[in-house]
Amino acid sequence: MLIEEWFQTLRSKAETVEQKWQQATESEKLQLADQLIELRKLSDQVVDQWLQFEEKLSAVIRQIKLAEGQSVKQEKVPENVTSDEKLGVYHHMFRKGEGFYHLRLYQDAKLCFADLLKESPDWESGRLYYAYSLLFCDEKEAAMREFRLLSMSASSPKVVGISYNAIGCILAEEEQWLEAAQAFKTALKIHPAQRDAQFNLALCLLKDGEAQEALEEIEEVLRHAENDWEAQLVWLRAAKLLQVLDETAEPEPPASLQLPNRKLDTETLREMASLYESLGNYHRAQICYHFLAERLPREGWVWHGLAWNTWLIAGTKRALTLVRKAISLVPDNLDFHFSFGWMKLFDGRTDEAINVFRFILLKERDHRLAQSGLIAAYERTGDLLTAKRMAQHFTEETSSYIRSLGFYHLGRIAVTEQNWRLAEQYFRRALQHSDEFREIPLYLQLCAAKLGQAFEAREPFVLHP
């Protein structure tokens, strides 16, 4: 068997373990873990054997050259050798360092390339390997110096572009988004075909809150690699951020993201579901979760997402079975229990919902969702005094969202009591703390109508159709 085929067989075994892991039982996972341990042992043996072979090969080459009257002691090149002879030694030093680098033996690679650069300081690819070896040895300042030197002195546009990309990565790790973005832009200007720099630029712009610019850059990446799942994730996150910044924005998804499909990566499907939920497109979110449930049938969050979107589309009857499945997989997840109680509440089974919320609060006294559920339940049963008291506690919290939720509940209770002026005041106070309650503008319109007033949006919010 050729060595390439042998390594391909090993890679296939590792990929098989990766594919089977998510759906494996505990006993199956133990067997898969044993396979990984054996592969790791084999990998270590291969590295050891390769190093022994490399040392032997180097020793043989040195002996032969010595026998032929050529001195290569310690791989230092004497002054009296010819250019061709020097080049041969340099290539040997380069190949050795490159071998260490690709085996992720970065300390050995660093030392090897340092020796090479002492003899041949203008070897650009050698200096590039040296810089990356420093970086992966966590010597960032030294690595930055080498990358900056290459960015100013290298004759190869590709090496200059790669160096600026590396500089951008180091700056981005320090969250210096503006400087990092400029480095990535320079890398692209010098070497436009460098897709890594374009991906990094998009990610950097996204981190800096520049959603529209991030979309433009990542769409260019997807034009050349439409199934790049990491690029798809960046697009989805940028689109979601753009929706937060501008509710009128409707970014057109690239072809590979226009509809959910089974070929998409798991994380991409999850991100698509989140985006569709934020846009109110529950049918497409539901499709994403269907595909995820096929792939990850033992993950509670998948069934919970499927249950929630099914409930929003088709109501309680179909959704309750799905949320029970989520609870059976992760019985300690109290948020799943809350969803179960919330669905029961809106199905008119108020007493059952109250029991669920009380069960959650026995487990976690300050579970805000369960407390909010109880306020809504007491409001439905007519126990407005208890509902008011609980909602008032929310308005005294430090979290702006919780305060807003408290005023929202008090506004709803005031509507039940037909106290329209008080309800309007509560809803406007809720808006001062958070704009996450999309129903508030509708309640304000109702209050204005009941008070015989023209509706005036005195706070900056947008009605959602």
Q: How confident is the model at residue 249 (pLDDT cuts 50, 70, 90)?
A: confident
Tell me if 350 is assigned to some domain.
Answer: no
Output phi, psi for 462, to 5 deg: -125, 135
C-alpha 228/C-alpha 226 separation (Å) is: 6
| Nearest residue to 441 (alpha-carbon basis) of 451, 431, 453, 452 | 431
Asked whether the predicted pLDDT for residue 84 surpasses 60, the reply is no
C-alpha 126/C-alpha 10 separation (Å) is: 30
Asked whether the predicted pLDDT for residue 298 surpasses 90, the reply is yes
Position 11 scores a pLDDT of 82
Q: How confident is the model at residue 89 (pLDDT cuts 50, 70, 90)?
A: low
Asked whether the predicted pLDDT for residue 43 surpasses 80, the reply is no
Q: What is the pLDDT of residues 432-446, one digit of tens each?
A: 877 777 788 888 888
Q: How confident is the model at residue 76 (pLDDT cuts 50, 70, 90)?
A: very low
Q: Average pLDDT of 228-254?
A: 84
Task: Give yes or no for a contact between 302 and 322, defined as CB atoms under 8 angstroms apart.
Answer: no
Tell me if 157 is assigned to some domain.
Answer: no
Q: What is the pLDDT of residues 199-215, one digit of tens each?
A: 999 999 999 999 999 99
Asked whether the predicted pLDDT for residue 361 surpasses 90, the reply is yes
Tell me if 450 is assigned to some domain.
Answer: yes
C-alpha 322/C-alpha 311 separation (Å) is: 9
Task: Give yes or no for a contact between 407 and 429, defined as CB atoms under 8 angstroms apart.
Answer: yes
C-alpha 363/C-alpha 341 separation (Å) is: 15
Q: Average pLDDT of 110-137?
A: 90
Q: How confident is the model at residue 61 (pLDDT cuts 50, 70, 90)?
A: low
Position 309 scores a pLDDT of 93
Task: Give yes or no for a contact between 391 and 369, defined as CB atoms under 8 angstroms apart.
Answer: no
Give residues with Cβ within 8 angstroms of 63, minimum separation 6. none
Tell me if 398 is assigned to some domain.
Answer: yes
C-alpha 434/C-alpha 408 separation (Å) is: 10
Q: How confident is the model at residue 79 (pLDDT cuts 50, 70, 90)?
A: very low
Position 382 scores a pLDDT of 92
Tell me if 258 is assigned to some domain.
Answer: no
Question: How many other β-carbons are positioned within 10 Å of the β-carbon of residue 24?
Answer: 16
Tell me if 422 is assigned to some domain.
Answer: yes
b/e per residue 285-295 (b: at least 16 CB within 10 A): bbbbbbbbbee
Position 2 scores a pLDDT of 67
Q: Which residue has the higher pLDDT, 159 or 45?
A: 159
Position 80 scores a pLDDT of 46
Q: Average pLDDT of 327-349?
A: 94
pLDDT averaged over the chain?
84
Asked whether the predicted pLDDT for residue 174 surpasses 70, the reply is yes
User: Which structure tokens are listed for 419?
Assistant: 């106290």
Q: Average pLDDT of 50-54?
A: 63
C-alpha 303/C-alpha 263 separation (Å) is: 20
pTM (2 d.p.)? 0.59
Give the 3-state DSSP-derived string for 377-435, with helices as H, strands as E and coil as C.
Answer: HHHHHCCHHHHHHHHHHHCCCCCHHHHHHHHHHHHHHHHHCCCHHHHHHHHHHHHHHCC
Tell me if 464 is assigned to some domain.
Answer: yes
Position 434 scores a pLDDT of 74
Position 37 scores a pLDDT of 76
Task: Give yes or no for a contact between 97 and 106, defined as CB atoms under 8 angstroms apart.
Answer: no
Q: How many domains does the chain have?
A: 1
Tell me if 445 is assigned to some domain.
Answer: yes
Position 375 scores a pLDDT of 95
Position 66 scores a pLDDT of 62
Q: What is the pLDDT of residues 308-331, one digit of tens each?
A: 999 999 888 889 999 999 999 999
Position 63 scores a pLDDT of 67
| Nearest residue to 372 (alpha-carbon basis) of 400, 347, 407 | 407
User: Which structure tokens are listed for 194?
Assistant: 């460098």
Asked whether the predicted pLDDT for residue 75 surpasses 80, the reply is no
Position 437 scores a pLDDT of 78
Domain hosting 455: range is: 382-465
